[in-house]
Structure 1
Amino acid sequence: MSGVRSLEGLLAAPQDVNDDDIIHVLTECARQSSNVSFREQVETSTIDDSSFLPFLTSRWLALQHLDGSSPSTIDQGVAAIDDDDDDGLSYSYTTTTSDSAATDIPSRSAFLDDSDAASTHVNVLLAMYRVLRNICASSPINQTKLKAVLPFTTNVLTGMIGYLDCSHDEELHAVIVTCMQVMLQFVANMTVHHTANQDILWPAFHPHLLEKVLVECQKYRKVLAYAAAVVLNCLHPPHAIRTTDLVKSRQIVILLLQRCLSFQSQDESDPALEWITMIFQVLVKRHYTADLYRNLSASLLSTLWSKLTPEQMLLLRMVDLVVAPDDSSSPVDGVESSRSNDDLIAFLCAEYTGLHVPNEAPSNKNDVNAAVSADRQAMWNVMETESSKLMLRILGTLTSSACVEEHSENVLTFIPVLIAQLQRLSPTHARETNAAAALSGDDVVQDETFGYRSAGVRVLGNMAHRNPSVQDALRACGGLEVLLNSCNIDPNNPMIREWALVALRHVCEGNEQNQAYIRALAPQQVVSRVDLSKMGVEPVLEHNKVTLKPL
Structure 2
Amino acid sequence: MAPVETPPAEALLGLAARLASPAEEQAAALPGCLATVRRMTDLFRDAAHREAATESLFQNLLQILKKASHEINVTCKDTNKLAHLDSHLLLLSQCFRCLRNACVQCANNQNIMRNLGLIEASVHLIQLLQNVETDLESLLTAFRCSLQFLGNIATGNTDSQNRIWKLAFPSLFLNCLNHQDEKIISYCCMVLFTCLNPERMRELQEENNLNVVLAVLQASRRYPESEWVFLVVTNHLLKCPELVKAMYAKLSNQERTMLLELILSEISENVSVTSEEIARFLACCFEEKCQAVLKLASVANDADKEALVTIRLLDVLCEMTSNTGQLECLQACPDLLKTAVNTLQLTHLAGKQTANIFTVTHSATGQEPICHPAVGFKSHLIRLIGNLCYKNKANQDKVYDLDGIPLILDNCSIDDNNPFVSQWAVYTIRNLTEQNDRNQELIAQMEQQGLADHSVLESMGLKVEQQDQKLILKSVRKKPNL
- Aligned 1:284-303 pairs, distance under 5 A: 284-288=237-241, 291-297=243-249
1:401 aligns with 2:324: yes
- Aligned 1:380-529 pairs, distance under 5 A: 382-399=304-321, 400-402=323-325, 404-405=327-328, 411-426=333-348, 434=362, 436=364, 440=366, 442-522=367-447, 523-524=450-451
CA contact (8 A) 1:222 1:272 kept: no
Specify the code of the residue in structure 1 equivalent to 2:312.
L
Q: CA deviation at 1:486?
A: 4.1
CA contact (8 A) 2:344 2:378 kept: yes
1:67 to 76, 84, 91: 76
Corresponding residue for residue 146 of structure 2: 183
2:127 to 135, 158, 168: 158
Corresponding residue for residue 21 of structure 1: 32
Corresponding residue for residue 95 of structure 1: none
Corresponding residue for residue 315 of structure 1: 259
1:277 aligns with 2:230: yes
Specify the code of the residue in structure 2 equivalent to 1:255.
A
Change (3 A) 1:464 1:202: same
1:76-120 C-alpha deviation (Å, 9 max, x unpaired):
xxxxxxxxxxxxxxxxxxxxxxxxxxxxxxxxxx4x322343212
Q: Secondary structure at the match of 1:291?
A: helix
Change (3 A) 1:32 1:50: closer
2:213 to 253, 273, 289: 253
2:281 to 342, 347, 371: 347
CA–CA distance in structure 2, aligned partners of residues 138 and 432 of structure 1: 64
Q: Secondary structure at the match of 1:446?
A: coil
Corresponding residue for residue 72 of structure 1: none
What value does the CA root-mean-square deviation take over the aligned residues? Answer: 3.4
Change (3 A) 1:48 1:503: farther
Corresponding residue for residue 231 of structure 1: 192
Q: Secondary structure at the match of 1:402?
A: helix
1:238-286 C-alpha deviation (Å, 9 max, x unpaired):
xx3112212332222222223333x4xxxxxx47754323222123552
Corresponding residue for residue 41 of structure 1: 52
Q: CA deviation at 1:466?
A: 2.2
Change (3 A) 1:19 1:420: same
Q: CA deviation at 1:445?
A: 2.6
Corresponding residue for residue 372 of structure 1: none
- TM-score norm. by structure 1 comes to 0.69
CA contact (8 A) 1:487 1:496 kept: yes
CA–CA distance in structure 1, aligned partners of residues 63 and 231 of structure 2: 36
CA–CA distance in structure 2, aligned partners of residues 297 and 321 of structure 1: 21
CA–CA distance in structure 2, aligned partners of residues 256 and 396 of structure 1: 25
CA–CA distance in structure 1, aligned partners of residues 95 and 273 of structure 2: 49
1:220 to 154, 168, 181: 181
CA contact (8 A) 2:253 2:309 kept: no
CA–CA distance in structure 2, aligned partners of residues 116 and 526 of structure 1: 80
Change (3 A) 1:67 1:407: closer
Corresponding residue for residue 461 of structure 2: none
- TM-score norm. by structure 2 comes to 0.78
CA contact (8 A) 1:188 1:233 kept: yes
CA contact (8 A) 1:30 1:130 kept: yes
CA contact (8 A) 1:432 1:527 kept: no
CA–CA distance in structure 2, aligned partners of residues 512 and 481 of structure 1: 16
Specify the code of the residue in structure 2 equivalent to 1:325.
E
CA–CA distance in structure 1, aligned partners of residues 273 and 59 of structure 2: 51
Change (3 A) 1:462 1:408: closer
CA contact (8 A) 1:446 1:492 kept: no
CA–CA distance in structure 2, aligned partners of residues 159 and 403 of structure 1: 47
Change (3 A) 1:452 1:192: farther
Higher relative contact order, structure no. (Cα contacts within 8 Å, ≥ 6 residues apart): 1
1:54 aligns with 2:54: no
Q: Secondary structure at the match of 2:249?
A: coil
Change (3 A) 1:192 1:495: farther
CA contact (8 A) 1:352 1:388 kept: yes
1:130-172 C-alpha deviation (Å, 9 max, x unpaired):
1111221233232222223112211111110000xx22xx4xx
Q: Higher helix share goes to which structure?
A: 2
CA–CA distance in structure 2, aligned partners of residues 63 and 324 of structure 1: 47
Gaps of 5+ in 1: 69-109, 264-269, 299-304, 329-337, 360-374, 529-542, 545-551
Change (3 A) 1:358 1:443: closer
CA–CA distance in structure 2, aligned partners of residues 177 and 272 of structure 1: 21
More deviation, 416-425/509-518: 416-425
Specify the code of the residue in structure 1 equivalent to 2:386.
G
Change (3 A) 1:482 1:509: same
Change (3 A) 1:113 1:489: same
CA contact (8 A) 1:489 1:496 kept: yes
Q: Secondary structure at the match of 1:447?
A: coil
1:32 aligns with 2:1: no
CA–CA distance in structure 2, aligned partners of residues 348 and 246 of structure 1: 20
Specify the code of the residue in structure 2 equivalent to 1:234.
C
Residue identity (%): 19
CA–CA distance in structure 1, aligned partners of residues 391 and 80 of structure 2: 76
CA–CA distance in structure 2, aligned partners of residues 62 and 190 of structure 1: 25
2:112 to 138, 141, 145: 145
Q: CA deviation at 1:50?
A: 3.4
Q: CA deviation at 1:504?
A: 2.0
CA–CA distance in structure 2, aligned partners of residues 157 and 272 of structure 1: 25
CA contact (8 A) 2:318 2:384 kept: yes
- Aligned 1:99-138 pairs, distance under 5 A: 110=78, 112-138=79-105
Q: Secondary structure at the match of 2:325?
A: coil
CA–CA distance in structure 2, aligned partners of residues 60 and 395 of structure 1: 52
Q: CA deviation at 1:129?
A: 0.7
More deviation, 196-205/57-66: 57-66
CA–CA distance in structure 2, aligned partners of residues 406 and 433 of structure 1: 36
Change (3 A) 1:241 1:49: farther
Q: CA deviation at 1:348?
A: 1.4
CA–CA distance in structure 1, aligned partners of residues 237 and 410 of structure 2: 35
Corresponding residue for residue 74 of structure 1: none
Change (3 A) 1:339 1:521: farther
CA contact (8 A) 1:341 1:398 kept: no
